[in-house]
Amino acid sequence: MTDRAIGVRVRFAPSPTGDLHIGNARIALINWLFARQAGGLFLLRLDDTDAARSRAEYADAIEKDLRWLGLDWDAGPIRQSDRLARYAEAAEALKTAGRLYPCWESEEELAAKRKQRLARGLAPVYDRAALALTEEQRGRAFASGKPPYWRFRLSDGEIAWEDLVLGRRIVKLTAISDPVLIRADGTPLYTFASAVDDLDFGVSHIIRGEDHVTNTGVQLDILAALGADISAFRFAHLPLLVDATGEPLSKRLGSLSLRALRADGVMPEALAGYLARLGTPDEAVPGLPHELVAGFDLGRFGHSPPRFDIRQLLALNRRVLQTTPFASLRDRLPEGATEAFWHAVRGNLDLLSEARTWWEVVTGRIVPPPLLEEAAFLRAALDTLPPEPWDETTAKAWAQRLSAATGRRGRALWRPLRLALTGEEHGPDMAALLPLMGRNRVTSRLQCALGQTP
C-alpha cells in the first residue's frame, strides 16, 4: 500500500483511551492545515493496541470532536487493532534479521539493574543481557513456558534529521535502552506499530509533539531495519503547550477536553483560530479550518513552549458569538429563546453556555439583592415605570422620567436599576432587556429590592 509518489501525506494518530485534549487537537489541526495547503492527504489512525484502556466510545468521541472542529480525513479511521497480523509479519522479519530478540527479565529485575548502574555512575540503559544468552540458555528459557517480550537491537551511533520546526536534531542511539516492541502477550507497542503504519501508508510528513523526538530516532532505526528509505520521511516536532505559569498543560484537566469546551459553548471558529496561530508570532483570528489554510505556515512556529491562555481563547470566542446568527445555533439556546433575546445578549457572552444565565434573568425567578440604601430611588423608579406595550424606546423614556424625578442620570441612575433587575453590575443593554422582561417582572424585582413581597 506504500505510495510515496503522491506528495504530502500526513496522519493524526490518537489513542482512544480518553477524551481528545486541547494539545492533541492542536496537533490534528496543524497536520490538517499542512496537508490541505500542500494539496496532500490527511489520514486518521487510531492507535488502539492497548486493549485494556482503549474504548469504542472514546474512538467515536474523537471522530465527533474532530468533525466539530471542522476537520475531515481522506482515509480512516485506520485501527491498529485490525492490523495485528501485519505487525506480526514485520516482527518476524526483524527476528530473522537478528534485530528483535527475546527477553525474560521481570520488572523487579530490570529495576534492580537500573539501580546498580546508577550507583556505578552509568546511564540506566538496558545491558542487553538477553542478547548475550547462548542458544542453550535461550532454549531453556523458551522451554520454561514463560513467554518472552521482544526488544529491538538499536544500531550503534546516532540518527540525525533536519526538523521542520526545531532545526537539526540528533538522537544518540547508544544512550537509549533497546526498546520493547512486542509485549509478552504478543501485542505490539506504539513505537513499533506506528513505524510500520507510517511505512505501509506512505506517510511523508510526521508532525507531532516535541516529546516524541527520541521516539523519532528509534522509529527511524526501526524503519531502516524494515528496509525503508528513511530519507523519504520529514519530521516536525512542535513544542508542547504550557499553562499560564509555564507548567506542562496536563491532559488530566477535563475542562480542556474538546468535549468540555464544546459543552461550555466554545465555538469551533474560535478554537481553530486560536490553535492555528498558537506558538507563532502572528495574531490569532477566528475561522474554521478551511478558512485558515491560506494563512498557514509551519515555518512560523517557534522553539519555545507556547502558553495556552484561556482568556485569549474566550476573547476570540466572544468575537465569534457577536456575529453568529440566531438560526445557526437556535437548538443550542435555552428552550423558548427568541431571536430578539439572542441579539440582546450575544455581545456580552464569552461562552454560549452563559446565555442560560441571561435567559433566566429575562424569563425566570431570580431574586435580586436587597438595595435598601436605594429605597427612595427605587420607589421613584416604580412610580415612573411607563405603561406597556414596551419596546426598545422604553428604557430611554423611563430614564428621562426617573431623572426628572430624582436628578440622577447615567451610571448613578442605571447601576441600581441594573442590580435590582438583573442581579449583575454589568450586562447587555437594558434597552434590549426591558421589553424581554416585561412590566410585571420589572415591578416584582423592584419590590424585592425594596424588601417587599411582590
Q: How far apart are CA 246 and CA 258, in angstroms?
A: 22
Question: Domains, the chain, ranges and CATH?
Answer: 9-80+188-238 (3.40.50.620), 95-158+169-182 (3.90.800.10), 331-449 (1.10.10.350)
Neighbours of 452 (CB within 10 A): 12
pLDDT tens-digit map of 68-105 = 999 999 998 999 999 999 999 999 999 999 999 999 99
Model confidence at 437, pLDDT cuts 50, 70, 90, reads very high
Q: How far apart are CA 60 and CA 106, in angstroms?
A: 36
Crossing angle between the packed helical segments 56-69 and 268-277, to the nearest 10 degrees = 90
pLDDT tens-digit map of 294-316 = 989 999 999 999 999 999 999 99
pLDDT tens-digit map of 368-405 = 788 889 999 999 999 999 999 999 999 999 999 999 99
Determine what percent of the chain is predicted with pLDDT higher than 90. Answer: 85
pLDDT tens-digit map of 203-243 = 999 999 999 999 999 999 999 999 999 999 999 999 999 98
Burial 52-67 (b: 16+ CB within 10 A, else e): eebeeebbebbbebbe
* Average model confidence (pLDDT) across the chain: 92
What local confidence, expressed as pLDDT, does residue 394 receive? 96
Model confidence at 255, pLDDT cuts 50, 70, 90, reads low
Grid cell 530519507 is found at 231
Determine what percent of the chain is predicted with pLDDT higher than 70. Answer: 97
Model confidence at 142, pLDDT cuts 50, 70, 90, reads very high
How far CA 250 is from CA of 7, 47, 58, 241, 293, in Å, comes to 35, 20, 19, 9, 28
pLDDT, mean of residues 111-120: 90
Neighbours of 281 (CB within 10 A): 8
pLDDT, mean of residues 168-183: 96
Crossing angle between the packed helical segments 22-38 and 268-277, to the nearest 10 degrees = 80
pLDDT tens-digit map of 330-351 = 999 999 999 999 999 999 999 9
Contacts 24+ apart (CB under 8 A), 395-404: 395/429, 395/430, 395/431, 395/434, 396/431, 398/434
Residue 261 gets the label, from left (phi > 0), alpha (psi -120 to 50) or beta, of alpha
